[in-house]
Amino acid sequence: MMTETNKISGRKKEILKEVVTSYIETAEPVGSRKIAKRSSLGLSPATIRNCMADLEDAGLLYQPHTSAGRLPTEEGLKFFVQHIMDKEPLSWGEQVAIEKEMLQEADGFNEILKRTAQLLASMTGHAAIVSAPAEMEEKLDFIEFVRIKPHVILVVMISVSGTVRNQLIRTSKDISQRILERFNRKVNELLKEVSLTEIRDVIVESMREDRRIFENILSQLVPEKAQQQLNSKLYIDGKLNLLDEPEFSHIPRLKSLLEALEEKHLLLRLLDKCLNGDELQILIGTDVAASMRRCGMVVAPYEDDEHPVGSLGVIGPMRMNYPRVVSLVEYIAAILGSRFKEI
């Protein structure tokens, strides 16, 4: 149900705001008497009750059972974040604490991404996800192929940020270290000009005598685009925070959510929504995913000087404190972008 903004009066917006705020704090239905006590509207419980009935007719509130108070619907929460919500400013102390944590020295950008996920999860009390820039995976400074034993090669990759990554590759044909040394020289020479992804075509064309050998190695080292996207670095923290939320006290429901958080395809798709939109987005209920329809998500890009390069987000119950979470996600995304520019 779509609600026309101009049909919701200022008074009703204030009442909806009070219902949502109470719901965020307690996860419980709220009645007209409680709204009358906590609001500054100066309205009687009877008047508030009538307004709540109108909001229910508009599809923004619902009554879980007879004689209970009201709760916001999914549409009610969306209306709140789009037309009513004011961001909760971070205190000076919080800003200093965030900057101190994120600006300290780190062993490569991957360490910064991991720290970012931990910080977001800690400060929001929800689950946090951070994606690494796809291009960061391709900015290699050095690569070496070492024969470990017959049919097994160790690939050592050092990124321009100093991060070291190892990968084992199995080959159908045993390859001598002498041949690998020739391969090492050629690949490192090419790394000065093209990315690892682009090397495959160049190397296979320029080393015709060993074409089959190196084509097989590179096909394992540089997956096809869809698989490469799936294997992109994705940092997740705070999943156990969900155990504290009353919405997920039902074990099958919690199990379903935790399984969804293990699906890289799903999480990357959610983060990509933000990259495509080039701005912070708030996803609620069915806008998140079918398997996460009781959740809310705040996701924002972090940028270099020209365009978004990665994104970060917070996943929690639909009643998460959006005013605060939005401020945290925006502030941390801005600092993460500044760290990326240092690479």
Q: How far is CA 242 from the centre of its chain?
A: 16
Tokens of 224: 């096809």
Does pTM top 0.75 for this prediction? Answer: no
Provide the phi-psi class of 164: left if phi over 0, else alpha when psi is between -120 and 50, else beta.
beta
Answer yes or no: are the C-beta atoms of 198 and 205 closer than 8 Å: no
Low-confidence ranges of the chain (pLDDT < 70): 1-6, 134-139, 161, 193-232, 265, 275-278, 306, 343
Domains and CATH numbers, the chain: 5-84 (1.10.10.10), 92-132+233-341 (3.30.450.40), 136-230 (3.30.390)
pLDDT for 230 equals 43
Q: What is the DSSP string of 289-307?
A: -GGGTTEEEEEEEEE-SSS
Q: What does the block give as tokens for 236?
A: 């997740």
- pLDDT computed for residue 39 by the predictor: 78
Q: How many angstroms separate the CA atoms of 74 and 79, rounded?
A: 9
Residue type, 124: T
In eight-state DSSP terms, residue 279 is S
Euclidean distance between the first and the last CA atom of the chain, given in angstroms as a whole number? 47
CA distance 111 to 17: 39
Q: How many residues does the chain have?
A: 343
pLDDT tens track for 261-315: 877 767 877 887 776 666 899 999 989 888 888 899 999 999 887 678 889 999 9
In whole angstroms, what is the distance from residue 324 CA to residue 333 CA? 14
- How far apart (Å, rounded) are the C-alpha atoms in residues 279 and 302? 9
**pLDDT score of 121:** 96
CA pair distance 302, 282, nearest whole angstrom: 16
